Amino acid sequence: MSHLSEIFGSNVFNDSIMRERLPKATYKSIRKTIDEGLPLTLEIAEVVSSCMKDWAIEKGATHYTHWFQPMTGITAEKHDAFINPTEDGKVILEFSGKELIKGEADGSSFPSGGLRVTFEARGYTAWDCTSPAFIKNNTLYIPTAFCSYTGETLDKKTPLLRSMECLSKNAVRVLRLFGNEKVSKVTSTVGPEQEYFLIDKKLYDKRKDLIFTGRTLFGAKAPKGQEMEDHYYGSIKERVSAFMKDLDDELWKLGISAKTEHNEVAPAQHELAPIFTTANIATDHNQLTMELLKSVALRHGLVCLLHEKPFAGVNGSGKHNNWSLSTNDGQNLLDPGKTPHENAQFLIFLCAVIKAVDEYADLLRLAAGNPGNDHRLGANEAPPAIISIFLGDELTKILDQIAAGEDISANKAGKLTVGVSTLPALPKDTTDRNRTSPFAFTGNKFEFRMVGSSASIASSNFFLNTIVAEVLEQFADRIEKSGDLDTEVNNIIKEVVKKNGRIIFNGNGYSEDWVAEAEKRGLPNIKSYVEAIKCLMDEKNLSVMEKHKVFSRVEMHSRYEISLEKYIKTINIEALTMLEMSRRQILPAAISFGAQVANSINQIKSCGIDADISANAELLQEVAALTAQLKKEITLLDEKVAKAQEPDQDTFSQAMYYRTEVFVQMGRLRAAADKLECIVDAKLWPFPTYADILFNI
Contact 324, 188 (CB under 8 A): yes
Question: At its nearest, how many Å lie between ligand ADP and the CB of residue 167?
Answer: 13
Apex 52 CA angle, 47 and 57, nearest 5 = 135
Among 111, 132, 191, 688, binds ligand ADP (CB under 6 A): 191
Contact 224, 695 (CB under 8 A): yes
Among 7, 18, 186, 190, binds ligand ADP (CB under 6 A): 190
In whole angstroms, what is the distance from residue 521 CA to residue 388 CA?
A: 11
The residue type found at 638 is: D
Cβ closer to ligand ADP: 315 or 322? 322
Mask for 193-212, x = binds Mg ion (CB under 5 A): x-------------------
Apex 158 CA angle, 152 and 162, nearest 5 = 105
Q: Which region among 63-71, 145-153, 190-198, 529-537 touches Mg ion (by CB under 5 A)?
A: 190-198
Question: At its nearest, how many Å lie between ligand ADP and the CB of residue 323?
Answer: 6
In whole angstroms, what is the distance from residue 209 CA to residue 686 CA?
A: 13
In whole angstroms, what is the distance from residue 196 CA to residue 351 CA?
A: 34
Contacts of 424 (CB under 8 A, 6+ apart): 340, 343, 408, 409, 410
Q: Which region among 93-101, 264-272, 314-322, 567-575 touches Mg ion (by CB under 5 A)?
A: 314-322
Question: At its nearest, how many Å lie between Mg ion and the CB of residue 434?
Answer: 11
Among 285, 365, 445, 640, binds ligand ADP (CB under 6 A): 445
Q: Which does 319 bind (CB under 5 to 8 A by kind): Mg ion, ligand ADP, none?
A: none
Interface positions, 302-331, toward ligand ADP (CB under 6 A)? 320, 322-324
Burial of 4 (0-12, 13-18, 19+ CB in 10 A): exposed
> Strand 446-448 relative to strand 79-81: parallel, antiparallel, unpaired?
unpaired
The number of beta carbons lying within 10 Å of the beta carbon of residue 216 is 22
Question: At its nearest, how many Å lie between ligand ADP and the CB of residue 260?
Answer: 7
Q: Which does 544 bind (CB under 5 to 8 A by kind): Mg ion, ligand ADP, none?
A: none
Listed residue (525, 386, 540, 389) closest to 463, CA to CA: 540
Interface positions, 326-385, toward ligand ADP (CB under 6 A)? 332
Cβ closer to ligand ADP: 136 or 449? 449
Q: Which does 444 bind (CB under 5 to 8 A by kind): Mg ion, ligand ADP, none?
A: ligand ADP
Q: According to the binding rule CB under 6 A, does residue 404 interact with ligand ADP?
A: no
Element (H, E) at 297: helix 279-299
How many residues appear in the chain? Answer: 697
Cβ closer to ligand ADP: 320 or 375? 320
Cβ closer to Mg ion: 204 or 323? 323
Interface positions, 265-294, toward ligand ADP (CB under 6 A)? 273-276
Cβ closer to ligand ADP: 428 or 499? 428
Q: Which region among 70-78, 190-198, 623-631, 635-643 touches ligand ADP (by CB under 6 A)?
A: 190-198
Cβ closer to ligand ADP: 189 or 213? 189
In whole angstroms, what is the distance from residue 296 CA to residue 183 CA?
A: 42
Among 270, 320, 375, 376, binds Mg ion (CB under 5 A): 320
CA distances from 346 to 248, 341, 462, 562 (A): 36, 9, 22, 38
Cβ closer to ligand ADP: 136 or 320? 320
Report helix angle 663-679 to 614-644, nearest 10. Answer: 160
Contact 232, 264 (CB under 8 A): yes
483 φ/ψ sector (left φ>0, alpha ψ -120 to 50, else beta): left
Among 99, 152, 155, 193, binds ligand ADP (CB under 6 A): 193
- Say how many Å lie between the first and final Cα of the chain, rounded: 34
Cβ closer to ligand ADP: 190 or 203? 190
Element (H, E) at 136: strand 134-136
Cβ closer to ligand ADP: 190 or 589? 190
Q: Which does 500 bind (CB under 5 to 8 A by kind): ligand ADP, Mg ion, none?
A: none
Q: Which region among 186-194, 347-355, 391-399, 553-561 touches ligand ADP (by CB under 6 A)?
A: 186-194
Cβ closer to ligand ADP: 458 or 655? 458
Question: At its nearest, how many Å lie between ligand ADP and the CB of residue 282?
Answer: 8
Cβ closer to Mg ion: 460 or 665? 460
Burial of 610 (0-12, 13-18, 19+ CB in 10 A): exposed
In whole angstroms, what is the distance from residue 638 CA to residue 307 CA?
A: 25
Question: At its nearest, how many Å lie between ligand ADP and the CB of residue 269?
Answer: 15
Cβ closer to ligand ADP: 66 or 319? 319
Which stretches within 59-109 are classed as H helix? 97-101
Among 170, 189, 437, 465, binds ligand ADP (CB under 6 A): 189
Q: Which region among 188-196, 217-225, 451-459, 590-598 touches ligand ADP (by CB under 6 A)?
A: 188-196
Q: Using CB atoms, what's the residue nearest to Mg ion?
A: 320
Q: Which does 274 bind (CB under 5 to 8 A by kind): Mg ion, ligand ADP, none?
A: ligand ADP
Cβ closer to ligand ADP: 354 or 656? 354
| DSSP calls for 359-384 | HTHHHHHHHT--TGGGGTTTSSSS--
Question: At its nearest, how many Å lie between ligand ADP and the CB of residue 157?
Answer: 19
Contact 125, 144 (CB under 8 A): yes
Three-state SS sequence of 264-277: CCCCCEEEEEECCE
Number of chain residues interacting with ligand ADP (CB under 6 A):
15
Question: At its nearest, how many Å lie between ligand ADP and the CB of residue 189?
Answer: 4
Number of chain residues interacting with Mg ion (CB under 5 A):
2
Among 14, 108, 295, 444, binds ligand ADP (CB under 6 A): 444
> Which SS3 state, helix, strand or coil, does residue 263 take?
strand
Cβ closer to ligand ADP: 52 or 333? 333
Contacts of 516 (CB under 8 A, 6+ apart): none
| DSSP calls for 420-457 | TTTPPPPP---S---TT-SEEE-SSSEEE---BTTS-S
Contacts of 212 (CB under 8 A, 6+ apart): 573, 574, 577
Q: Which region among 22-30, 275-283, 317-325, 553-561 touches Mg ion (by CB under 5 A)?
A: 317-325
Q: Using CB atoms, what's the residue nearest to ligand ADP?
A: 191
Cβ closer to ligand ADP: 276 or 439? 276
Beta bridge partners of 332: 326
Question: At its nearest, how many Å lie between Mg ion and the CB of residue 647?
Answer: 46
Q: What DSSP character marks residue 41?
A: P
The residue type found at 336 is: P
Question: At its nearest, how many Å lie between ligand ADP and the CB of residue 276?
Answer: 3
Residues that bind ligand ADP (CB under 6 A): 189-191, 193, 273-276, 320, 322-324, 332, 444-445
Residues that bind Mg ion (CB under 5 A): 193, 320
